[in-house]
Structure 1
Amino acid sequence: MILANCLPEPARNMVSESVQASCLKNDEAENNMTLHDMYYHKLSDDDSDSDWDPLQEPPAALKWFCVNCTMPNSDDVVHCGICGEHRESEILVHGFFASPFSKGLLGSKLEVEGILKDSCFQDLTSDNITAVGFDERMLLHSEVIMKPHPHPERPDRLRVIAASLATAGIFPGKCFNIPAREITREELKKVHSLENIEAVEQSSQIVASYFTSDTYANEHSALAARLAAGLCADLASTIFSGRVKNGFALVRPPGHHAGVSHAMGFCLHNNAAVAALAAQTAGAKRVLILDWDVHHGNGTQEIFEQNKSVLYISLHRHEGGKFYPCSGAASEVGKMGAEGYCVNVPWSRGGVGDNDYIFAFQQVVLPIASEFAPDFTIISAGFDAARGDPLGCCDVTPAGFAQMTEMLSTLSGGKLLVILEGGYNLRSISSSATEVIKVLLGERHGCKVDKVVPSRSGLRTVVEVLQIQKNFWSKLEPVLSNLLSVWGVHLQERRKKMIKRKRAFVPVWWKFGRKRFAYQVLTRSVRSKSKKW
């Protein structure tokens, strides 16, 4: 952990040269790009100065950063050049209901009033309560070192979701807020090593510190991490005991990259792992953790890869190990007798949308989950696979997230806890989280999709996962056979069409070989010349 020197009170916002040097040294030492590196890679101008011309006019100074996606914009534009958000957007006041094109709410006043009227308070009976875990002290976790660009994991992520829920009358209103408490050291020891726990605690004594080049901490971060973990633990035990129906943990910092002994990827403590063990302490024998964050939850997998009582399923971008954190291949299935209890669905490209995710749910997630028969279900709900997210670059819609939540709500008798992980486009994260919470409240949107058509790369990924996981789950053998029978013909026909297309572009003479054709051309030219003479 890189620790910054304590700064005097008048200069707390200034950065010491030693901290900057340490950050640069740590960046150079890392072999793989971090989340932070991926986010800002396109903004870096330090790689080359070959096109620098002192006679040219200097570029326009950057004057403001988009509140929605944090991308920089020059002072002469009103809308963000990346996401189109208005410079003075009120998204932090009204959530995604705020207009992205101007100040104020989206639509007429009557439309918003209708939304609020439809979202009126409901009676909170024990069978119909959706609990939300939230505490404003988690907003104190922020990057205090001034950098050329705002950090994507910022307090506004919670503010915009809370604003959206308040504008819709969902929370406060329909949902019950549970009181926050700090997780104890004894509870954390069940998940993390003492090294990790003490490193996070030590950050509270320092103004600014870094666990990795992209994982920051300030003097309030340890408290925020303990509150987040404590809320997830209490939500899990409260839901499993039946005092509430389900719940949503509106928490930060996120957690699924935090492993046994390390913090990384914006994560300090693993909230999903803490919640899983809390549910088991309350009596759950089998816990399912479904991780749809666009990045693989390497920390969660590490914690439970030898545990047969916790099934971890992750859907994420992988791209052959080139996408952060470069783990989560389909071949990673668990170890030490727990093979099959880690299920990875690694997408081979970006831009993956609703159809591929729901298809993977139908063919992989639900068959395995139904055979596992969990007593409690946890969703590591990162919304960075949402449309418009600058890190994920995928295409899942709020309706897609809602559909996946509804599919999982059929498990565990409806005992479901959704925990916020990533998501860095404020409009995408707030609209997606709101739709998920509506599902938890029992408000169904749209009809169920019986059959979806996946992309070719998505189909290949699902088939690859089924071929590996069928060795551990008996229900997958008929699923794979049916999949090949239905889509195998399609693939064969497509392969034949591709072959025909290739043959159509190949000249007939190519079949005889290039040397033979060249010989015939030369001999014919010689004969024609001899006839002329």
Structure 2
Amino acid sequence: MFSALNLPQRIPESLSDALTAVNRVFDYFMVTGAFKMDADNSFHKQAAQVFIGRGESSRSDASEAQPNAKRVRVEKELTFKDMYENKELFEEDDEEDTDWEPCPVEKCVEVIKWFCRNCTMDNLDNDICCEVCGEHKDSKILTLGHFASPFAQDGNLNEIQPSMKVMRDFDSQESAANSSTAIGFDERMLLHAEVEKKSHPHPERPDRLRAIVASLTRAGIFPGRCYPIPAREITQEELMMVHSSEHIESVEVTSKLMSSYFTSDTYANKHSACAARLAAGLCADLASAIVSGRVKNGFALVRPPGHHAGVKDVMGFCLHNNAAVAALAAQAAGAKKVLILDWDVHHGNGTQEIFEKNKSVLYISLHRHEGGAFYPGTGGAHEVGYMGAEGYCVNIPWSRGGVSDNDYNFAFQHVVLPIASEFAPDFTIISAGFDAARGDPLGGCDITPSGYAQMTHMLNALSGGKMLVILEGGYNLRSISSSATAVIKVLLGESHVPELENSFPTKSGLQTVFEVLDIQNNFWPSLKPIFENVMSLWEMHCLGKKVVGKQTKKRRRILVPKWWRICEISALEETSQNFPFLECVCCLLVKCKFILLGEEDLKMKGLRPNQGWSHIQFNEYLGGFLYK
């Protein structure tokens, strides 16, 4: 079709050449009728005369002119002057246009959605359960009031109704003597809520606290086994130690407004400033009480959260930085060194900003990062602090979602605990966001209540058990309730902490820990042997996957050398009793079975269970690892 255009066979070298080529294409389509203009009535005919510059533009003229298509030129180009000089052509009586009809408009189909009461995510109307958390469309969660248990079945919703007066009249002296764990909570923090009516509620909503309190009440923990510390509002002098005066003023001014927004996702109403002061005041008093020995540990059941709030910025649902206020209050009460462990799925950029020059506060954060693509984009492994405090910011940035208990446990054993033990804190703060929990709408990770309990148990050995857990994020009501309850049970000293099986991490988790150790071992001597260990694991992982992957691609199965002895086992615990091990052992997983391979003439050596390869879980691919 384009042979008649006589276009140049090379790329145009000048603007005039390019315009000539475009002109030829335009003329070809106009003459051949590819651009069809309806000239049946005078309006369209006159318009065609103006735009085309010809007396007639009928199909018959076009067909007659088709043999000479390549020599045709537009006689007159349309300009603004032409449009205005021929404007009378467009202003004739509209009676001749009675046959004109507008183009039919496609009907807009409204997509009906419903929001999940558990995690607030939108779902299509024909979905019975939430795609994110699995909650039923007709869920009655928390519909019976303040103490409705989120764990009650829809058909058996029993409301637990202890009065708040019981909490207020709970004798402080007797509770302090009978309980070692304090809880900070005040109903006025529930008044902080989004006023603007939207299609679905904001994820950071009062129901988060209601769900946790209901879970604790159902478990008989609060009130009863914990000491409820009275709430007070933080003073401006205390806040000035953390935030700038502009930051404090920007929060306080919201008390004069019915509704306002700091950012598109951070709201405030007239009660928000008071709620933020109460949250910070509770955290400060809990820290002082723990350091002074009045209570052993505590849980700050507070909102709005705080770890995104920096020296000047209000962002990420956070108004005042509660963890930073608690750390300085602990130091004022006598703690010289404070550890802040942040396991919220988002990086605590505000907390890091406040303490990145302070060697007396060690900040460790485990968060989803994805190379800076995940909110708030900060917290890369290279961010280690500065101005003499290098190494006192430790970031463990996961490169993807779906991070599990095994990844966190592996990071704790190889990064968090060695650094924290070398730092030797006098007081430990956990910025406990539960948005990395399974089913959270924002986190997209897979931490279980048992995983949170295990991490709390490991941290409890530091600083003589003087530990404060501060609520940060977490937006799935069932996940945040069960996770917070599991953590508080550890604080209460419940002996049974479930052991995590097969704690070997995923490939991305191993890579993240290796990269963090590569940076942090320059600042913490205790990490050097651990770094060498993990480096060996990573190298063998890469080598094993490369070799096995190549074989699998070619032969679709793994071929074992004939001179190797094959021993199939059914349980890892039996290995040390029934099978001798070689000094070099190669483990392969084939159809979910362990196969041990080794040369018969090597020196035999025993291996106890729970050492070496027995820690490894192969659940994603066929892999080979070599261990000495």
- Cα distance in 2 for residues equivalent to 1:452 and 1:491: 19
Picking from 148, 151, 170, the partner of 1:97 is: 151
Picking from 321, 344, 364, the partner of 1:313 is: 364
Structure possessing the higher radius of gyration over alpha carbons = 2
- Cα distance in 2 for residues equivalent to 1:125 and 1:187: 26
Letter in 2 for 1:331: H
- Cα distance in 2 for residues equivalent to 1:137 and 1:329: 37
- Cα distance in 1 for residues equivalent to 2:442 and 2:506: 21
Quote the residue 2:280 is aligned against: 229
Letter in 2 for 1:410: A
Look up the SS of the partner of 2:525 in the other structure: coil
RMSD: 2.2
Quote the residue 1:275 is aligned against: 326
CA contact (8 A) 2:117 2:141 kept: no
- Cα distance in 2 for residues equivalent to 1:439 and 1:261: 35
- Cα distance in 1 for residues equivalent to 2:354 and 2:294: 28
- Cα distance in 1 for residues equivalent to 2:106 and 2:374: 40
Quote the residue 2:52 is aligned against: none
- Cα distance in 1 for residues equivalent to 2:349 and 2:106: 49
Picking from 67, 70, 75, the partner of 2:120 is: 70
The alpha carbon displacement at 1:297 in A equals 0.2
1:39-78 alignment to 2 at 5 Å?
58-59=109-110, 61-62=112-113, 64-73=114-123
Look up the SS of the partner of 1:95 in the other structure: coil
Are 2:190 and 1:139 aligned? yes
- Cα distance in 2 for residues equivalent to 1:84 and 1:451: 27
Are 2:447 and 1:393 aligned? no
- Cα distance in 2 for residues equivalent to 1:494 and 1:75: 44
The alpha carbon displacement at 1:485 in A equals 3.5
Are 2:243 and 1:192 aligned? yes
- Cα distance in 1 for residues equivalent to 2:337 and 2:303: 26
CA contact (8 A) 1:385 1:396 kept: yes
Picking from 376, 379, 382, the partner of 1:325 is: 376
- Cα distance in 2 for residues equivalent to 1:374 and 1:495: 43
Gaps of 5+ in 2: 1-103, 161-173, 557-628
CA contact (8 A) 2:179 2:227 kept: no
Quote the residue 2:514 is aligned against: 463
CA contact (8 A) 2:307 2:322 kept: yes
Quote the residue 2:253 is aligned against: 202
Picking from 318, 327, 340, the partner of 1:289 is: 340
CA distance 1:154–1:447, change in 2 (3 Å): closer
Look up the SS of the partner of 1:393 in the other structure: coil
CA distance 1:73–1:481, change in 2 (3 Å): closer
1:76-225 alignment to 2 at 5 Å?
79-86=129-136, 87-91=138-142, 93-99=147-153, 102-104=155-157, 124=175, 126=177, 128-225=179-276
- Cα distance in 2 for residues equivalent to 1:499 and 1:459: 22
Matched-pair identity in %: 69
CA contact (8 A) 2:132 2:441 kept: no
The alpha carbon displacement at 1:314 in A equals 0.2
Quote the residue 1:334 is aligned against: 385
1:408-427 alignment to 2 at 5 Å?
408-427=459-478
- Cα distance in 2 for residues equivalent to 1:78 and 1:350: 26
The alpha carbon displacement at 1:247 in A equals 0.3
Look up the SS of the partner of 2:494 in the other structure: coil
CA contact (8 A) 2:179 2:225 kept: no
Look up the SS of the partner of 2:430 in the other structure: strand
CA distance 1:308–1:82, change in 2 (3 Å): closer
- Cα distance in 1 for residues equivalent to 2:177 and 2:382: 43
CA contact (8 A) 1:130 1:441 kept: yes
CA contact (8 A) 1:201 1:222 kept: yes
The alpha carbon displacement at 1:433 in A equals 0.3
Look up the SS of the partner of 2:428 in the other structure: strand
Letter in 2 for 1:156: D
Quote the residue 2:550 is aligned against: 499
CA distance 1:497–1:243, change in 2 (3 Å): same
The alpha carbon displacement at 1:483 in A equals 2.3
The alpha carbon displacement at 1:162 in A equals 0.5
- Cα distance in 2 for residues equivalent to 1:134 and 1:196: 24
Gaps of 5+ in 1: 1-52, 110-122, 506-533
Letter in 2 for 1:215: T
Look up the SS of the partner of 1:379 in the other structure: strand
- Cα distance in 2 for residues equivalent to 1:430 and 1:413: 27
- Relative to the length of structure 2, the TM-score reads 0.66
- Cα distance in 1 for residues equivalent to 2:322 and 2:235: 13
The alpha carbon displacement at 1:85 in A equals 2.4
Look up the SS of the partner of 1:182 in the other structure: coil
- Cα distance in 2 for residues equivalent to 1:60 and 1:102: 30
The alpha carbon displacement at 1:89 in A equals 1.6
Q: Deviations over 1:340-370 (max 9, x none)?
A: 0000000000000100001000000000000
Are 2:418 and 1:367 aligned? yes
- Cα distance in 2 for residues equivalent to 1:288 and 1:243: 20
- Cα distance in 2 for residues equivalent to 1:143 and 1:437: 29
| Stretch of structure 1 that moved more, 479-488 or 312-321 | 479-488
CA contact (8 A) 2:191 2:206 kept: yes
The alpha carbon displacement at 1:190 in A equals 0.3
- Cα distance in 2 for residues equivalent to 1:180 and 1:145: 28
- Cα distance in 1 for residues equivalent to 2:183 and 2:176: 15
- Cα distance in 2 for residues equivalent to 1:365 and 1:262: 28
CA distance 1:355–1:82, change in 2 (3 Å): closer
CA distance 1:76–1:280, change in 2 (3 Å): same
Q: Deviations over 1:441-489 (max 9, x none)?
A: 0113344448611000000000000010000000000111122335543
Report the count of equivalent residues: 436
- Cα distance in 1 for residues equivalent to 2:389 and 2:314: 25
CA distance 1:325–1:81, change in 2 (3 Å): closer
Quote the residue 2:536 is aligned against: 485
Q: Deviations over 1:21-79 (max 9, x none)?
A: xxxxxxxxxxxxxxxxxxxxxxxxxxxxxxxx9655733544x5322111245677764
Look up the SS of the partner of 1:181 in the other structure: coil
- Cα distance in 1 for residues equivalent to 2:279 and 2:512: 34
- Cα distance in 1 for residues equivalent to 2:240 and 2:142: 39
The alpha carbon displacement at 1:406 in A equals 0.4
The alpha carbon displacement at 1:399 in A equals 0.4
Q: Deviations over 1:228-271 (max 9, x none)?
A: 00000000000111100100000000000000001000000000
- Cα distance in 2 for residues equivalent to 1:485 and 1:83: 38
Quote the residue 2:297 is aligned against: 246
CA distance 1:80–1:466, change in 2 (3 Å): closer
Letter in 2 for 1:98: A
CA distance 1:476–1:433, change in 2 (3 Å): same
The alpha carbon displacement at 1:147 in A equals 2.2
1:336-351 alignment to 2 at 5 Å?
336-351=387-402
CA distance 1:486–1:65, change in 2 (3 Å): closer
- Cα distance in 1 for residues equivalent to 2:525 and 2:547: 33
| Stretch of structure 1 that moved more, 285-294 or 126-135 | 126-135
- Cα distance in 2 for residues equivalent to 1:326 and 1:103: 44
- Cα distance in 2 for residues equivalent to 1:154 and 1:447: 31
The alpha carbon displacement at 1:150 in A equals 1.3
- Cα distance in 2 for residues equivalent to 1:54 and 1:158: 49
The alpha carbon displacement at 1:184 in A equals 0.2
- Cα distance in 1 for residues equivalent to 2:330 and 2:472: 19
